[in-house]
């Protein structure tokens, strides 16, 4: 906690004053342009990867960047998606997977998750991706990398089941994008939902 306290002090002393005008504007304005759905992994920092300013991204982070398909009942992920699309009017949604993802590694390597039943239950939202990755993984790519990529595709499909997203897509006011961020190199590749070869994002 000491590191965090010192970080807050540095923010208040050095960062906030340098962006005082921006923060004054943000005090009364919340208009992000993009919903970024990424992994909870501490190594994946959306604002750093995209070099975005405060207020530009609406961020949802989940283990394995998983997006459950729309279903009745309370759901924090669904509520965040609906608010970003229907209230804030974001124009784009990015689902970003990443290299060395612990969630995808656990699935690909069939780890024993009996001691973490909530994790095991949550990772069932990647079942479709797991099935596709097992069929498509090449020796060069490896099963974890294939699963990371197929998982991004699967979560894009799940996103489209949410009513607010489906409406915005039908009205052509929203675009969906899939990315895979490579931690050691910093590269970001775009994942085509149709399964075509990846291309660099940006």
For residues 63-72, give the mean pLDDT: 96
Tokens 């994942």 map to which residue?
A: 191
* pLDDT reported for residue 139: 47
Mean pLDDT across the chain? 92
Of residues 24 and 193, the one with the higher pLDDT is 24
d(CA 62, CA 77): 8
* pLDDT reported for residue 200: 60
Is residue 7 over pLDDT 90? Answer: yes
- Say whether 96 sits in a helix, a strand or coil: strand
- Threshold 0.75, pTM exceeds: yes
Residue 191 has φ and ψ, to the nearest 5°, of -100, 120
| Other Cβ atoms closer than 10 A to 169 | 17
* pLDDT reported for residue 138: 54
Residues 6+ apart with CB under 8 A from 87: none
Is residue 195 over pLDDT 50? Answer: yes
For residues 38-47, give the mean pLDDT: 97
For residues 1-25, give the mean pLDDT: 94
How many Å separate Cα 128 from the centre of its chain?
17
pLDDT band of residue 141 (cuts 50, 70, 90) is low
CB-based contact 152:180 (threshold 8 Å):
yes
Q: What percent of the chain clears pLDDT 90, i.e. is strictly above it?
A: 85
* pLDDT reported for residue 133: 84
Structure confidence by residue, pLDDT tens digits, 155-189: 999 999 999 999 999 999 999 999 999 999 999 99
Structure confidence by residue, pLDDT tens digits, 91-124: 999 999 999 999 999 999 999 999 999 999 999 9
């Amino acid at each position: 906690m000491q590191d965090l306290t010192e970080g807050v002090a540095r923010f208040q002393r050095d960062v906030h004053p340098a962006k005082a005008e921006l923060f004054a504007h943000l005090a009364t304005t919340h208009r992000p342009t993009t919903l970024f759905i990424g992994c909870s992994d501490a190594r994946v920092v959306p604002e750093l990867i995209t070099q975005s300013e405060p207020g530009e991204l609406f961020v949802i982070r989940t283990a394995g960047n998983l997006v459950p398909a729309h279903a009745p009942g309370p759901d924090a992920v669904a509520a965040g998606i609906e608010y970003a699309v229907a209230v804030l009017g974001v124009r784009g949604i990015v689902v970003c997977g990443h290299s060395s993802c612990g969630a995808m590694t656990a699935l690909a390597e069939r780890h024993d998750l009996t001691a973490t039943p909530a994790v095991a239950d949550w990772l069932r939202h990647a079942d479709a991706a797991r099935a596709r990755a097992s069929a498509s993984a090449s020796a060069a790519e490896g099963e974890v990398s294939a699963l990371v990529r197929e998982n991004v595709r699967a979560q894009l499909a799940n996103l489209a089941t949410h009513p607010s997203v489906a409406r915005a897509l039908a009205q052509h006011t929203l675009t969906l994008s899939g990315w895979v961020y490579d931690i050691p190199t910093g590269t970001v590749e775009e994942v085509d939902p149709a399964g075509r070869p990846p291309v660099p994002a940006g």
